[in-house]
Amino acid sequence: MTSSPITLDGRGSRIEQPEYDALLGEVTQWVQGPGERWSEVIEQTDSVPPALFAELKQHGFLSMAAPVELGGRGLAFTQWMGLMEVFSRSHASIRMLVHVLNGTWRAINPYVTQEQRERFVKPMVAADTLVAFTLTEPGNGTGADLTCTVRREGDVYLLNGRKHLITFGVRCDHWLLFARLEGTTGKDGVVALLVDRHAPGATVEDTSHTMGVHGTDHASLTFVDTPVPVAQRVGDEGEGLAIALGGFLTPSRISVAMSCVGLAERAQELAVEYARTRVTFGKPIAARQAIAFSIAENEADIQAAKQLTLHAAREWERDASEAPALSSMAKMIAVDMLTRVTDKALQVHGGVGYWQTSPIERVYRDARAQRFEEGTNEIQKTVVAREIFARASDGARS
């Protein structure tokens, strides 16, 4: 295994092409075989069995994106996106596990002390601990308007407030939680904390029953004077939003965009297979122009979104200033693409596709969740528009 020198967020890592090709083949084989069998189990039980988590860990699938120095495989971000594309053709909960465990470390690693790196980051990379990203609140947005607060008393912060829609918030070991210092406003008062899942004063409500993405747990959280050691703060006071938005959300939005590509490819694969085998009036429906045109439109849609997503991934990899806006563009375009592709793919199946016995039914349900993950498209459009107008203002002043 070879790896080049790294930055703290892993952007400098890369493995050699033969090694990557072998890894891509291994992932593809698992997704098409054991992954499909596990998907059936998840749908039947509405849960992710511990044995599945253990199998993913055993294969190293939960530790691939991090640098070798942290215990990961040392993939470049663009290489990781190629694997996310394949994992996303599997069950959405499998994709979610792989996505989260291969990404959350990236948010905090540039900001932690060496002691915190040993205590928190390396166990995260090894998949020995699960950390849930905990930003969203029920009464406001997910940025500088946070109302969850902390006040410092000696060596602890006392945490108060609510969070909701927290993926893996029930089964995690820690919440990577963002709150503001009591009495502050704006981004400069936000702190990032690693909060113990079983800390006193924390109440967890399981809100896991969703339309799709069955098996992934979600939580609503309430904190009343929950003590958090100051030693578990990530970065300095006031760096919380930088950790949340730059360290996690920018690469994560690109990853979600690639997840849309992978799931759309699965929908297209199912539609093509059905169109070739379903016969009406003596001909496979693939011979019908209406069906063929839908398949052609889907393919063009998928390829366009994929190339924008790869462009965003390359720009983030080289730390380009345009990467945050590109990540929002990629997610925005890929989500809309997935909506169109899965709708047409279901339509190709006719009424049969509406039944739970048809694989496209699950794909269709799971696709809807991508429109909320890492911010709605309305949020992405706001980010992109802000960047456009800021660039125009800078140009007018120069």
Summarised one tens digit per residue, pLDDT across range 201-256 is: 999 999 998 888 999 999 999 999 999 999 999 999 999 999 988 778 899 999 99
Instruction: Compute the CA torsion angle 329, 243, 143, 237 (nearest 10 deg).
Output: -160
Strands (E), the chain: 131-134, 149-153, 156-167, 174-181, 190-196, 202-206, 218-229, 233-234, 279-280, 283-284
Of the pLDDT bands very low, low, confident and very high (cuts 50, 70, 90), residue 7 is low
398 pLDDT band, cuts 50/70/90, is low
Co-location of 341 and 280 in the same domain: yes
At residue 141, the pLDDT reads 67
pLDDT band per the 50, 70, 90 thresholds, residue 331: very high
Answer whether 194's CB lies under 8 Å from 165's CB. no
Position 2 confidence tier, pLDDT thresholds 50, 70, 90: very low
Calculate helix-pair angle for 17-32, 34-45, nearest 10 degrees: 40
CATH number at residue 192: 2.40.110.10
| Residue 393 and residue 275 in one domain | yes
How many domains, in total, are found in the chain? 3
Cα 82 to chain centroid distance, Å, stands at 14
Residue 1 has pLDDT above 50, yes or no: no
Among 238, 268, 298, identify where a domain stops. 238
Domain check: are 167 and 255 in the same one?
A: no
pLDDT band at residue 393, thresholds of 50, 70 and 90? confident
Taking the model in full, what pTM does it have? 0.93
Instruction: Read off the pLDDT of each residue in 368-381 and give the average, rounded to a whole number.
Output: 89
Q: What is the pLDDT of residue 140?
A: 81
Is 374 annotated as catalytic? Answer: yes
For the chain, give the percent of residues with pLDDT over 70.
97
Q: State the pLDDT at residue 256.
A: 96
Look at residue 26 in the predicted model and tell me its pLDDT: 98
**Same-domain pairing of 196 and 323:** no
Domain boundary, last residue among 238, 262, 296: 238
pLDDT at 142: 65
Count of beta carbons in the 10 Å neighbourhood of residue 388:
11
Q: Residues 124-135: what's their mean pLDDT? A: 96
pLDDT digits (tens, 9 = 90+) for 31-62: 999 999 999 999 999 999 999 999 999 999 99
Rounded average pLDDT over 155-171: 96
- The answer to whether residue 145 scores a pLDDT higher than 90 is no
The mean pLDDT value for 113-119 works out to 97
Catalytic residue among 69, 317, 374, 378: 374
- On whether both 92 and 205 belong to a single domain, the answer is no
Kindly report which listed range (20-34, 98-112, 369-383) carries the lowest average pLDDT score.
Answer: 369-383
pLDDT digits (tens, 9 = 90+) for 340-359: 999 999 999 999 999 999 99
Looking at residue 3, what is its pLDDT? 39
Residue at token pair 């997935």: 338
H or E stretch covering 392: helix 377-397
Same domain for 82 and 207, yes or no, is no
Whether pLDDT at 184 is above 70:
yes
pLDDT, averaged across the chain: 93
Instruction: Give the domain range for residue 79.
Output: 17-111
The reply to whether 53 and 159 lie within a common domain is no
Determine the average pLDDT of the residues in 278-306: 97
